[in-house]
Amino acid sequence: MTFINYAAREINCKIVFYGPGLGGKTTNLQYVYDRTNSNSKGKLISLATETDRTLFFDFLPLDLGTVRGFRTRFHLYTVPGQVFYDASRKLILKGVDGVVFVADSQRARAESNVESLQNLDKNLKEHGYDLATIPYVLQFNKRDLPTAMPADEMYQQLNIKGEPTFEAVAPQGVGVFETLKAVAKLVLLELKKK
């Protein structure tokens, strides 16, 4: 749900990073935070456990500049990936404008990716959204690991509608901004249709 403020000439959009536990959603946000100059970002909030696992969400507000005279602000959220946090995950999808699915490339995590994708589909439907129509981008993270599956194989398993797909190594920033840019673009193009 985009918030368009004609009075303040601002557009606010919400983007959610979804995916299995330990897949690198928080690392994506951390990299964006580290590489954005301080004028255009807010505080990175992590509601995490003592062992740095996401408990509720991470949140990063990002100011991308103006488009057609409107300041565009993106609110980036991650969800907790661990299976048993489903109730929290569902809450965070409320009012989402665009979704990034961060898949873990390791073969041992292939099943978790599929499970998490099914979970995303189910939770979106409960909010009245459809994965088939919502702005959506896929990321294969951890491409640098020796146990990474071939990208083609992952594409076949996880790509559902020909959505933009990126290979990434989030701690080094490979593919991180490309992914973010792609989803931001889809969200803004969606505004055009309304």
Number of residues in contact with other proteins under rule CB under 8 A = 46
The piece of 11-19, 21-29, 143-151, 164-172 that touches other proteins (CB under 8 A) is 11-19
DSSP state of 39: G
Q: Which of 83, 91, 132, 145 binds other proteins (CB under 8 A)?
A: 91
Interface of this chain with other proteins, residues 32 to 61, rule: CB under 8 A: 42-43, 45, 47, 56-57, 59, 61
Q: Which of 79, 99, 158, 188 binds other proteins (CB under 8 A)?
A: 188
Q: Residue 167 in contact with residue 158, Cβ under 8 Å?
A: no
User: Judged by CB under 8 A, does residue 145 bind other proteins?
Assistant: no
Pull the structure tokens for residue 66: 């103006």
State the number of CA atoms in the 13 A half-sphere of 110 facing the CB.
Answer: 12
d(CA 187, CA 194): 11
d(CA 149, CA 104): 9
Q: Is 49 helix (H, G, I), strand (E, B) or coil?
A: coil
* Contacting positions for other proteins (CB under 8 A): 1-8, 11-12, 14, 42-43, 45, 47, 56-57, 59, 61, 64-65, 67-70, 72, 75, 77, 87-88, 91-92, 94-95, 127-129, 177, 181, 184-185, 188-189, 191-192, 194
